Structure 1
């Protein structure tokens, strides 16, 4: 939990979600990096209690443990969790991280030339993942949810543009692999998301955001590849045996 006496640099170093909160309060991560939170809030005439409350709320919602009862979720409920938690996170964080990549590369690429490649990779990752989420939400997830709804029916012949749910699942898993390769390259280019000692506050927050994004991505892919998709394939197979 951040304290009043911690510097802005320390706060964004220790809490990956802090940067977005501070930016919403117009606390510049670079020019105020060495100021304490109390000092920054006083100079900007902000309620330090309100800022601390928002920082605490953001910390509670950082990528981490999934709900304890997740294994008992129906497929429809699991899909809702994936979309509301992980898809929403991707749509919120990737544009923010991409914007930070452009800012950091524009300021520090002469000293850290790898930032230009990182910038390009994030643009590529955003394009890849946004298209991927649309395919899941418009085609695959509604089909799985419909199967789940009719799980007790004696037969099920949904209308779809594929012969088996295994076909779009395979394509989504290939998409996960493509995104994973980009994230692995980002990890290598950033020295495992460790900013240089001279990095400004925005630079530090950017690498912290990348680290948090990777954590969420691993959870996201695990829930789909290892939990939802195998259950969907098995359910379709069971329905076909019934029919």
Structure 2
């Protein structure tokens, strides 16, 4: 959690999305990098309490701080959490990271050529993951929720483009693996997300943001691969067995 006595650089290192929030308050994260939040706000005649409130809200929403044990949630509630927290993270964080990667590559690409590849991989990851979550939200998740909430309707046509839930699940798992490969490329290109000593605050925000995105993405796919998808296939199997009696 950000504090008034932390430097802008420290805040961004622990909460990369803070860079965008600070910019909304006209706090230049490079110019004020070495200043504490208190000092930066005093320079600009800002309310440090108001800035902290925005930073705290962003941290709570982005991490899904209210989330309970996934095994205690119904599949429908788990889907709501995945969409509200993890899909939101993909939609908000990846475009921000692509923008940062573009800025850093343009500024430091001659000094660190790998940054151009980082930009390319981040752009590819964004395109693939946005399409991935679109398919989950429009096709797979509604079906799983229907099996959970109204099972007798789940096998009615039309709009069913698969005969068993295992088919789209297999495709989504394969796409998860593709996303993990792209993130592994980013980890390698960035030396495990360690910025050089000469990196500016924007550079630091990019690497910190990528590191945190990887951690959250791993939790995202764990919830789907290990919790939601197995339960969906089990529900469908039980429903079909019941219908066969």
CA RMSD of aligned residues (A): 1.8
Cα pair 2:62 2:89 within 8 Å, conserved: no
**Structure 1 segment 1-243 matched on structure 2, within 5 A:** 1-63=1-63, 67-151=67-151, 157-159=155-157, 160-243=160-243
TM-score for both structures, normalised by structure 2: 0.92
Deviations for 1:96-140, whole angstroms, at most 9, x for unmatched residues?
A: 111011001111111111100000001100100010011111111
Please list every run of 5 or more consecutive structure 2 residues that lacks an aligned counterpart in the other structure: none
Distance in structure 2 (CA, Å) of the matches to 1:187 and 1:218: 13
Distance in structure 1 (CA, Å) of the matches to 2:203 and 2:227: 36
Deviations for 1:30-53, whole angstroms, at most 9, x for unmatched residues?
A: 122122222221222211121122
Distance in structure 1 (CA, Å) of the matches to 2:195 and 2:156: 51
Deviations for 1:153-192, whole angstroms, at most 9, x for unmatched residues?
A: 5x95232111111101111111101111000110111111
Distance in structure 1 (CA, Å) of the matches to 2:36 and 2:154: 62
Local SS of the residue matching 1:68: coil
Local SS of the residue matching 2:67: coil
Distance in structure 2 (CA, Å) of the matches to 1:183 and 1:65: 24
Distance in structure 1 (CA, Å) of the matches to 2:88 and 2:120: 22
Cα pair 2:8 2:37 within 8 Å, conserved: yes
Post-superposition offset of 1:54 = 1.9
Distance in structure 2 (CA, Å) of the matches to 1:181 and 1:14: 24
Post-superposition offset of 1:25 = 1.6
Local SS of the residue matching 1:212: helix
Deviations for 1:49-89, whole angstroms, at most 9, x for unmatched residues?
A: 21122223333345377723321211111111110111011
> CA separation of 1:66/1:166 partners in 2, compared to 1, >3 Å: closer, same or farther?
farther
Distance in structure 1 (CA, Å) of the matches to 2:95 and 2:204: 17
> CA separation of 1:186/1:64 partners in 2, compared to 1, >3 Å: closer, same or farther?
farther
Distance in structure 2 (CA, Å) of the matches to 1:217 and 1:236: 27
Distance in structure 1 (CA, Å) of the matches to 2:47 and 2:183: 37
TM-score for both structures, normalised by structure 1: 0.92
